[in-house]
């Protein structure tokens, strides 16, 4: 396949924000420079039925006092190239403002996972937005293949303040009661507050109806970080297995949390079937290597995917000429004298040699040299 000059020009402009330093960023699309950017490696790793860990680093693009409050979103993107194109937000959490640092700051933050059925498919991506106006600050693609998240267990509503279990629940069922405990419950938006939830013990089939076995209220006291502990004994109105004679498939033992009439989450804590397997959590997601070039044709696998070409087959790339005008003044003339022309020629050829050695399809073409005269009093701002 022949890749044209126009294709390469468009690709180069887009790729600058994606391939340098292996950062898959969207900062190039912003009208003004974002105060922060994502630096990869970047990943999202499911931990249990209620959350996964988003891992990345943040770097400051400017010397500012604070980052400002930031939303971290897990999105499904319709297109690899555009964070502003059609997308779905499938998880979000806020990071409070943090102070400037000249060094990258590693971030590891829990993102809630939801019980989706027939969710919209898309390319997974992490996106940072401003908490005030929702403007995009930066982002990173987490996969080159569309995914379609589906889960029977997890949080129930994107509109409710999320509750996550940072540690797995412990469940002990008896004839007339059930003991449940979670060492670390996390509700970041409710930090420093208290709330009363209803804990429901049920049995059912994944994604289907359920049989309520018992319930009890529980007050959660969240600390300054939004963490609390859950420990409760629930009296059962009927035995955990009392329904099996009429519905043998309903073997999942479930813990449900309700906030008023709104269900917050459903967690599978066990099974009446000793051979049953725990629900799958989904695959880890990670930012692709945007520099890898399997066929060594000078176009990375990532960019070949954007172009629609085969990353395992070398493509013929037409060299793009870039016209150059060199300016010089008295300062350079005095320093180099009769060697000035040779100096300009050396720099010109050295730049082309770098492009050639790097297999970048660009060639600098000199079209003019301009003497600007006495430049001794000029500064970089002139």
Cis amide linkage into residue 41, ω under 30° from 0? yes
Whether pTM > 0.95 for this model: the answer is: no
Q: 265 is written with which tokens?
A: 């989450």
Q: Topology of domain 164-271, per CATH?
A: Immunoglobulin-like (2.60.40)
CA distance 76 to 93: 16
Alpha helices in 284-357 (DSSP H): 301-307, 330-336, 340-357
pLDDT at residue number 83: 58
pLDDT digits (tens, 9 = 90+) for 169-198: 999 999 999 999 999 999 999 999 999 999
Domains 24-151 and 164-271 share a fold: yes
Mean pLDDT, residues 319-335 taken together: 92
Mean pLDDT, range 340-352, rounded to an integer: 94
The pLDDT value given to residue 7? 35
> Which CATH fold would you assign to the domain 24-151?
Immunoglobulin-like (2.60.40)
Q: Is the pLDDT of residue 18 over 60?
A: no
300 φ, ψ (degrees, to nearest 5): -65, 155
Residue extents of the structural domains in the chain: 24-151, 164-271, 319-371
Stretch (H or E) spanning 19: helix 5-19
Report whether pLDDT(13) > 60. Answer: no
pLDDT value of position 319: 86
Q: State yes or no: pLDDT of 352 exceeds 90.
A: yes
pLDDT bin (cut points 50, 70, 90) of residue 64 is: confident
Residues recorded for the chain: 382
What's the whole-number mean pLDDT along residues 232-240? 97
Question: Please, are residues 181 and 218 in contact by the beta-carbon 8 Å criterion?
Answer: no
Closest C-alpha among 291, 310, 312 to residue 302 = 291
Question: How far, CA to CA in Å, does 365 sit from each of 6, 10, 319, 322, 329?
Answer: 18, 20, 12, 6, 21
What does the pLDDT read at residue 299?
A: 76
Q: In this model, does residue 284 exceed pLDDT 80?
A: yes
Res. 32: pLDDT tops 70 = no
pLDDT in tens, 260-283: 999 999 999 999 999 999 998 989
Beta strand pairing call for 320-328 and 362-371: parallel
Q: What is the pLDDT of residue 376?
A: 85
Backbone angles phi, psi at 370, to 5 degrees: -125, 125
Q: How confident is the model at residue 290 (pLDDT cuts 50, 70, 90)?
A: confident
pLDDT band at residue 84 using 50, 70 and 90 as cut-offs: low
User: What would the pLDDT profile of 121-165 be if each residue is shown by its tens digit?
Assistant: 899 999 999 999 988 999 999 998 899 888 999 999 989 999 999
């Amino acid at each position: 396949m022949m890749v044209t000059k126009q294709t390469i020009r468009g690709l180069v402009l887009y790729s600058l924000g994606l391939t340098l330093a292996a950062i898959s960023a969207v900062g190039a699309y912003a009208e003004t420079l974002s105060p922060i950017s994502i630096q990869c490696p970047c990943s999202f790793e499911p931990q249990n039925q209620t959350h996964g860990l988003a891992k990345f680093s943040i770097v400051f693009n400017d010397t500012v006092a604070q980052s400002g409050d930031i939303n971290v979103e897990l999105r499904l993107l319709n297109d690899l190239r555009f964070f502003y194109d059609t997308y779905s937000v499938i998880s979000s959490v806020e990071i409070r403002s943090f102070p400037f640092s000249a060094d990258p700051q590693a971030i590891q933050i829990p993102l809630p996972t939801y019980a989706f059925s027939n969710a919209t498919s898309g390319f997974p991506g992490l996106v940072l937005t401003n908490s005030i106006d929702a403007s995009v600050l930066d982002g990173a693609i987490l996969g080159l293949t569309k995914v379609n998240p589906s889960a029977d267990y997890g949080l129930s509503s994107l509109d409710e303040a999320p509750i996550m279990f940072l540690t797995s629940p412990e469940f002990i069922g008896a004839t007339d009661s059930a003991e449940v405990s979670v060492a670390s419950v996390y509700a970041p938006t409710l930090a420093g507050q208290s709330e009363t939830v209803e804990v429901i013990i049920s049995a059912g089939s994944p994604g289907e109806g359920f049989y309520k076995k018992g319930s009890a209220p529980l007050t959660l006291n969240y600390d300054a970080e939004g963490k609390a502990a859950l420990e409760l004994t629930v009296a059962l109105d009927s035995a955990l297995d009392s329904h099996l004679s009429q519905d043998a498939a309903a073997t999942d033992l479930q813990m449900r949390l309700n906030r008023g009439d709104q269900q917050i989450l459903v967690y599978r804590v066990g099974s009446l079937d000793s051979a049953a397997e725990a629900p799958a959590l989904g695959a880890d997601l990670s930012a692709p290597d945007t520099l890898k070039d399997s066929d060594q044709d000078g176009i990375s696998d990532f960019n070949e995917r954007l172009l629609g070409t085969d990353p395992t087959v070398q493509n013929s790339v037409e060299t793009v000429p870039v016209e150059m005008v060199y300016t010089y003044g008295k300062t350079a003339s005095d320093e180099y004298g009769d060697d000035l022309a040779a100096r300009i020629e050396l720099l010109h050829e050295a730049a082309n040699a770098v492009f050639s050695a790097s297999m970048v399809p660009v060639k600098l073409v000199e079209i003019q040299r301009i003497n600007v005269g006495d430049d001794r009093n000029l500064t970089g701002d002139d």
